[in-house]
Structure 1
Amino acid sequence: MPLSNVVDEEGFLVVHESRSYKSEVFRETLSGILLVERRNLPAQAMLWLVMVLAATRMPNSEFFFLPLMARLFALLHTRFASHRLGMALERGKRIRKQLAYAVFAMLLGGASWGFVLAAVMSDPVLHPARLILGGGTLVGASLITAIVGPAYRLLFAFLAGFVSSTVLGMWLWEASMLLPATFGTLCLSLIFLAFAYALSGQRILTSRTLVENRILSEELADSLAHAEFLAFRDPLTGLMNRRAFFECAGDYDEGQERYLLSLDLDDFKSINDRFGHAVGDKVLVKVGETIKQVQESLPAGDHCAVRLGGEEFVMLLDCSGKGCASAAAERLRCAIEGISDQLRLPGLRTTCSIGLSRWHRDTPIDEVLCNADDALYKAKARGRNRVENTAA
């Protein structure tokens, strides 16, 4: 389990994190980022188009051709990287390679915005379109930092590309502006970082809540499944319990030919007294496994195996013929006798007595069970470790 949960003195759930839990929170955070990124794509495309139109109004529009083409390439590349990462997350695969590719895409994305900003800052022309280009750049970059803020690797890759590209572009166009450009870009990046940090806390908390709710839901489902299992199964052997036995018996069609096998371990109390209840439980578990193996070896049918309680077991055999049922009972007796050899405890002897009864049409199950028990008592009286039947 990725969580270890306890309840504090005030009754609140306290979650202790593990590596797998942190990984799930990170994956959930990435899923949220990619969802916003997909919804933000039309806005980014529209912003790019507006900036292209603004650039065409500038007197030296050719000056912005390469920066805007770089921005378009980075936008498409980021969408492709996000798609790959999203597919890996949806399929539950490892995301190391896809995440590294997304980090590289964010580096290019930051560099493309820095390239555009450097072009705006280096152009001395005063024009209203310059406001759109510069403002659009700052808005677009700030939106991206806000979106990827919870994923620090993506955020710092974007800011690294943005700062380096802006400073490099300013130096290439006007070397004397290198120091002011560097200072100004770093200030912008710190503002973007603070903005992203302010927004990321709530989104990470939301991811934690979603993961914890999912884990708690899975734990609840497991608990309900386990409770349902225990309602119809014996917790020690995994066989059906008494309640399930009578429901199973009630589901049989009246026209089916079937047999009931009643089994009781011989001198089981002496096993507990001599070797302890732990050994006794091991014997019962082995008996349950043996009964399952015999059941699986039978011809296809609606067979069921039951632990009525203690060392008493019952099998309903959906067999066509007394020979099949008798052979199954004898095979079961021999297998149980061999359990002592498997446990390798000196003096341990595991045998059973078995009573077999045919289930006639319209005969109540209680009567059939009594007939099988009568045959079982005969087996006990005649020396134990044998099969007796009333299946006439």
Structure 2
Amino acid sequence: MIGNAQFIFLLGMGTFVIAGTALFYEWRRSRDPAAAWWSFAFLACTIAAGTFPLRQFDGLDVVSIGLANAMFLLSYSAICAGIWKYYGRRVNGAVVVAPSVLWLLFWSLCPLASDFDMRVAVGSFLAAVVSLVTARGALFGKARMLGRALVLLMAFRTGFFAVRAIWASTILGPISDAERAIGFEIVLVEGLWSSVISGYLLLALLRENRERLLVKLSETDYLTGADNRRAFQLKAEAAWQNSSDRRETTLLMFDLDNFKHINDAHGHAFGDGVLKDFAAIVSARVCAGDVFARLGGEEFALLLPGRDAAAGARFAETLRADFAEAMLARTVDKVRVTVSIGIASTRHATSLDRLLGIADEALYRAKANGRNRIECGPCSQKVVAAPAYGTAIAC
């Protein structure tokens, strides 16, 4: 058993070093705090695996039993902390070290710590609790395949350590030396397999997150934080495929009035501030599922899935009025930036290109009819509201 255990520990140390190094490299690239936690976790595992075999030497129990088990528990807690951090949850450092502290208190103060079976029961119970909390944290990502795999792994570890704690407590009866030896090797094999699987899953999570961030960057307008034209086209296509007679979709096209004059006269920094203000006003009012994008220059678009033209017109008037009020402070030489809005609905379009065309035509009419107003296409119009600086028109 000793020879097998030492060989498994050697394999485990190699696995921990490889996984910890890879995760440290990921942290160096991304500075993701989750990667730092996970790299530290495998470092702690390496230290624990290196000290655990020293128990065969007399006088080293403090290191080989007390410290080794504390480091293993700390590594489990660090993985848990990294998962919670990865999904944007708060991590309490005191909670992270609590299992290791409880183990050390048991080891140093409790008379029962001299009994091998009780040490196994207490250590396994603490490991089961940490694994359960880790599985709970992994549930935040259950919508993705990697998140589900992590939940399953941690749920398995919770059950494994819980069963081991019950078995070691001798509730089910006395345990022979042969059973202890077999149980010890099973724990080593489980730890080795779990470290390989968890190392792969954690690295995959980091890379998936990095790829997701790169995609988001490629689809986000750097100045306003809104989607860019590429992202709008992709999301609008998806919304169009989902639209039907029962689920009408409305498109708002925006163009900031007098923007070029203000931008040329007072500089790009002033103009950038106007663009950011408009994007902030719209972003604060959109709902989940709405698609807001900057198409270029001072042109923006907002897709409203599930809203008809009348609802879109009311929403457009709210945005127009809010922006007009916000721009009072930016009036220069009696020239004020306002917004003209064109509206189109899937009720009048047979394709996405046609929807964009109708909204663009309505926007052109809004500009031609005096600006700071709302027009709805196609041209069969009925006035439904008359705001102070424009006219909202229903399709």
TM-score, normalization: structure 1? Answer: 0.50
Rg larger in 1 or in 2? 1
